[in-house]
Amino acid sequence: MTASGVDLSVDFCGVRFVNPFLLSSSPVSNSAEMVSRAFEAGWAGVAYKTVVTDRIPIIHPSPRMKSFDRGREQLVGLQNVEQTSDRGLKPNLLDMTWLKKRWPDRVVMASIMGFSDMGVPAMHAKNGGANGISAINTVRGLAGIDPDTWVPSLGVFGKGAISGISGPAVKPIGLRFIAELALEEQLGLPLSGIGGIETWVDALEYLLVGATTVQVTTGVIHYGYGIVADMIEGLSDYMAMRGIERVSELVGRALPQLHETDAFDLRRQGISAYDLARCVGCGACLTVCSDAGGQALSWDTSSRRPRLDEGKCLSCMVCSFVCPVPGLITFREMPEGWSRAPTPTLGVEV
């Protein structure tokens, strides 16, 4: 039981986890000493860093990681060229055995390889006797190119390489894979969601599309093992507030609302709605509406506020993405039969 009085434990592949939060296979799960500290912080289990036989000597490229930053925001994504564990098979197996003895209520999973394309491999994994599926691994990409040297990342002594991207940038892809696997009726295996999870809300989203547990690497690389405390507290409080007793009640609850786009009701239309009492007059909405929206805004110079021509609003909502005041611009449904004005043409009919 957590402080909020809810039970966060889950049954995954017939194994009990004290909560749904696990470390994924990567440098954050590289040794018993590290994993033990993670368990102390509250993580329920670990997919231990992928092990291989000693026949293949593993030497990691140097450097082996590159942050994908966006403006001042660091680690929006992470590119890595790390290989499987560079420790010997024996020390890794000894470490896993030690962890099992020291932490009997925590789960240690061995990772023997990763997948990049899940649909077919997932079925193969099931046919091969897998009890559950973890998805996703990293997604192939380039974090950037050095504008001075023209060397693509990671820049290992003058050489770049397309390789694995992880972190918040890949969360939409991870959510999609878990949702698709959860909807695959023939698969019917428990799922563990991975990709860009840093907060309890990220974790909740993975649960809602069908994951029973979630795994984290880049979030730990960014903030350390301690983030699990916030995840435990956040999810517990959310469940207590909504009267949800078990994590399993959340699993897959978004799936009935997930459709193909042709299921949308095109007769229902809306526009943006502005709460101008909160407007700070920055003009960001005007710029994007002119250059990327419906040219539905004009500028009231006396009040220094935007003015909306409702008939022109496309409901693209790009203005709301750039407005610095959260919740100022919202979506409003229009009455049945309302229609927007056609975009004016400059051409002359011949």
Ligand X SMILES: Cc1cc2nc3c(=O)[nH]c(=O)nc-3n(C[C@H](O)[C@H](O)[C@H](O)COP(=O)(O)O)c2cc1C
Q: Which residues bind ligand X (CB under 6 A)?
A: 24-27, 49-50, 65, 78, 80, 82, 84, 111, 114, 137-138, 166-167, 170, 194-197, 216-219
282 interacts with ligand SF4 by CB under 6 A: yes
Mask 155-194, x = binds ligand SF4 (CB under 6 A)?
----------------------------------------
| 202 neighbors 194 (Cβ within 8 angstroms) | no
- Supply the minimum distance, in Å, between the C-beta of residue 344 and ligand SF4: 14
Task: Report which of 101, 105, 88, 92 is spatially closest to residue 15, judged by C-alpha positions.
Answer: 105
CB 44 within 8 A of CB 22: yes
Q: Which of residues 169 and 288 has its CB atom nearest to ligand SF4 in the complex?
A: 288
Residue 18 main-chain phi, psi, to 5 deg: -65, -25
- Our finding on whether 325 is near ligand SF4 (CB under 6 A) is yes
User: With CB cut-offs between 5 and 8 Å by kind, which of ligand X, ligand SF4, none does residue 207 bind?
Assistant: none
Please provide residue 180's backbone torsions phi and psi, each rounded to the nearest 5 degrees. -65, -40
314 contacts ligand SF4 (rule: CB under 6 A): yes
If we measure between CA atoms, which residue out of 210, 228, 206 comes closest to residue 219?
228
Q: Which does 328 bind (CB under 5 to 8 A by kind): ligand X, ligand SF4, none?
A: ligand SF4
Residue 132 neighbours by CB distance under 10 Å? 17
Q: How are beta strands 329-333 and 270-274 bridged, if at all? A: antiparallel
Judged by CB under 6 A, the stretch of 8-16, 58-66, 220-228, 321-329 that binds ligand SF4 is 321-329
Report the alpha-carbon distance of residue 32 to residue 61 in Å, rounded: 23
Looking at residue 54, what DSSP letter applies?
Answer: T
Q: Which two three-digit tokens encode residue 134?
A: 């973890």
Q: Which does 197 bind (CB under 5 to 8 A by kind): ligand X, ligand SF4, none?
A: ligand X
Q: What is the dihedral of CA 211, 214, 219, 220, to 10 degrees?
A: -170
Residue span 4-33 as binding mask against ligand SF4, x where in contact by CB under 6 A, dash where not: ------------------------------
**Least spacing, CB of residue 2 vs ligand X, in Å:** 23
Among 165, 257, 288, 333, binds ligand SF4 (CB under 6 A): 288
- Give the one entry of ligand X, ligand SF4, none that residue 248 binds, where binding means its C-beta sits below a cut-off of 5 to 8 angstroms depending on kind: none
Could you tell me the two tokens for 29?
A: 């799960």
Cα–Cα distance measured from residue 180 to residue 182, given in angstroms and rounded to the nearest whole number: 5
Residues 196 and 166: their CA atoms lie apart, in Å, by 6
Binding site for ligand SF4 (CB under 6 A): 272, 274, 279-285, 288-289, 293-294, 296-297, 306, 308, 313-319, 323-325, 328-329
